Amino acid sequence: MIGENLYETDFYTWSAQQAEFLRERKFDQVDWSNVIEEIEDLGRSEYRALVSALEQLTLHLLKWQYQPQYRSPSWRYSIDKQRIKIERILEDNPGLVSRREEVMAKGYKYGRKGASKETFLKEDVFPEVCPYSWDELLDEQFFPELF
């Protein structure tokens, strides 16, 4: 089938073609298996973007908390930037809110590893489970202190 070959050789043209088939209701010409796969991947991509933003946010919050002597405006900016990113993702994808516990756990897991590498502190210095609540993570006024 021409559409399937185009899918592998020229994704841009394939996607434009599939959109046109759908607009014109030429359902018999739609490359359904690849269209379905791409739609599913869009959802996974938004989920991964949210995990990534939480990873970066928790990494910087841990650095802020555990190395106060190195705090800088760029750290504050990074924290603010990730909070805005999370807010935007959730505004565009409110269905992801129902997965927040899972996303927090995964994002924190990777953020903890990153904080360990960036601070040169052992990973077990940081709590195993995210020490911040969902509300704290999204609160632009929240910046954790060591004790």
Q: Kindly give the confidence (pLDDT) of every residue in the chain, 147 residues in length, as a single tens digit, with 9 standing for 90 and above.
A: 455 588 889 989 999 999 999 999 999 999 999 999 999 888 899 999 999 999 999 999 999 999 999 999 999 999 999 999 999 999 999 999 999 999 999 999 999 999 999 999 999 999 999 999 999 999 999 999 875
Name, in order, each residue with C-beta under 8 angstroms of 44's C-beta and a sequence gap of 6 or more.
none
Amino acid at 144: P
Alpha carbons 115 and 62: distance in angstroms, whole number: 6
Quote the pTM value: 0.82
Residue spans per domain, the chain: 44-138
Three-class DSSP category at 67: coil
Q: Is the dihedral of CA 110, 111, 116, 117 positive or negative?
A: positive
